[in-house]
Amino acid sequence: MTVIQVKNPATGERIGEVKVNTKEEINEAILRGHESFKTWSNVNAHERSKLLKKWSDLIQNNKEDIARVMTLESGKPIKESLGEVDYATSYIDWYAEEAKRLYGRTIPANTESKRIVITRKPVGLVAAITPWNFPAAMMTRKAAPALAAGCTFIVKPAEDTPLTTIRLIELAHEAGIPENVVQCVNGYGSEVGKLFTDSKYIRKITFTGSTPVGKLLIKNSADTVKHVSMELGGHAPVIVAKDADLDLAVDQTIASKFRNAGQTCICANRLLVHESIADEFSEKLAAKVSELKVGNGLNEDTQVGPVINEKGFNKIVSQVEDATAKGAEVICGNEYNADAEKGFFFVYPTVLKNVNLDMNIMQEETFGPVLPITTFETLEEAVDIANGTPYGLASYFFTNDYRTGVYLNENLEFGIVGWNDGAPSAAHVPFGGVKESGIGREGGIEGIEPYLETKYLSIGNL
């Protein structure tokens, strides 16, 4: 039997293991998911809603235990894990309600002898592949709309953080959602991904993770013409205009950048500050960033935990080295506490200034607690820099001038825009990106659409 060892990224200690499911086991799970679709899709929407609510309640009843497991396997500070449990259940609660609102419509026919009726049908069995940075919420924001719509669901969690997901799926079964309707399988991304995309029974793939893997899943889904929803990488710019409230901009930028040690897809990834306020802003920012407490996520006062693994750590360090070699100045951080043999990797919050567009950090997602600052003279220049990457997930700007705000909102090519707001995520809003940051939206009324087909009935000869 092959197993995946699950380790605490704060210490490198083994905290558990999960069995890698064989190809046969995964194909059987897919078949069970497909067969149970016939019954689950006929369960009435009010009953599906009740089961989802029960699932949410059970997760809340186990909130502290789930948060502890999440911190142990992902390294995120315990306060953030507790917050993520709430965030995860907010999606279940939202879609428990939306289940009852999947309305159809009628269309007036062009003859007296016809009636036209439009209904919404679930797409079928949905397969999800989820990342390690939000082991609970990225799963529930896929599972909840899928189940609410009447789809069956199978998830493969990230190898680094399978334990939170496994516990949530157990609770779904305890809530009364049938075992074959919501399932979890474990294994390596490339192997399970191929089984999912090759299967004719899986009608939709929903994925959160890196852009290269998302592109591969889209390509591999073509042969069976699956629906795809992709929530991929980001490279969020933060534009600070000359009239911005600097204290607000500093606090919101820190909230956006250093959440989960900089490992979220909507984290601020590059700061574009108007040249007239750049020195004042940089000083205020560095002073606050250097006060952030780094440590084991289980300590109540930790604000920044470890990064997930050696691969993530090396990517962060190489971006900082590349930037400093090309002339960036470190104004805070660039310190590390890492031991590859033991298996822990802490990056101290880092701010770089004198950054330019030739540096990798201004072109690639960092996924770590490092913030590069560059300056701009005109808003047009800021927009060109902000839009000048293949990514288009989140963007932020700070201004108290409504003309500047409207101009920036209308010209930024991003799916999510935060105006004086560094924390735009919520279950009731459509989250997702444009360009190479993804396809589709999760959350809000839009978030259930990708799990539905439109069926058109034409009744004739009346």
Q: Which of 159, 203, 241, 256 binds ligand NAD (CB under 6 A)?
A: 159
Residue 213 contacts ligand NAD per CB under 6 A:
yes
Active-site position among 73, 98, 231, 442: 231
Residue 404 contacts ligand NAD per CB under 6 A:
no
Rounded to a whole number of angstroms, the minimum distance from the CB of residue 423 to ligand LTNE7NMQ is: 8
Beta strands in 393-442 (DSSP E): 394-398, 416-419, 434-435, 438-439
Reply yes or no on whether 28 is catalytic: no
Kindly give the interhelix angle for 278-289 and 246-258, rounded to the nearest 10 degrees. Answer: 50
d(CA 272, CA 238): 6
Residue 265 contacts ligand NAD per CB under 6 A:
yes
Rounded to a whole number of angstroms, the minimum distance from the CB of residue 390 to ligand LTNE7NMQ is: 18
Rounded to a whole number of angstroms, the minimum distance from the CB of residue 134 to ligand LTNE7NMQ is: 5
Q: SS3 for 441?
A: coil
The interface with ligand LTNE7NMQ within residues 262-301 (CB under 6 A) comprises: 264-266
Q: Which range, of 72-80, 82-90, 226-234, 334-342, touches ligand NAD by CB under 6 A?
A: 226-234
Active-site position among 84, 151, 159, 265: 265
**C-alpha separations of 127 from 130, 155, 201, 295, 442 in Å:** 10, 6, 10, 35, 15
Reply yes or no on whether 231 is catalytic: yes
Is the CB of 354 or the CB of 425 nearer to ligand LTNE7NMQ? 425
Q: Classify 26 in phi/psi space as left (phi over 0), alpha (psi -120 to 50) or beta.
A: alpha
Question: Would you give the binding string for ligand LTNE7NMQ spanning residues 21-40, x where CB under 6 A is met?
Answer: --------------------
List the structure tokens of 44: 């009435």
Residue 216 contacts ligand NAD per CB under 6 A:
yes
Nearest 5°: CA angle at 356, between 350 and 359?
70
Rounded to a whole number of angstroms, the minimum distance from the CB of residue 123 to ligand NAD is: 20
The interface with ligand LTNE7NMQ within residues 147-206 (CB under 6 A) comprises: none
d(CA 367, CA 98): 33
Residue 210 contacts ligand NAD per CB under 6 A:
yes
d(CA 317, CA 16): 29
Full DSSP string of 203-221 = EEEEEES-HHHHHHHHHHH
Question: Which of 391, 68, 2 minimizes the C-alpha distance to 230?
Answer: 391
Q: Which of 135, 145, 150, 193 binds ligand NAD (CB under 6 A)?
A: 193
Site residues, ligand NAD (CB under 6 A): 129-133, 158-159, 189-190, 193, 208-210, 213, 216-217, 231-233, 265, 312, 315, 365, 367
Q: List, by residue number, the catalytic residues.
A: 231, 265
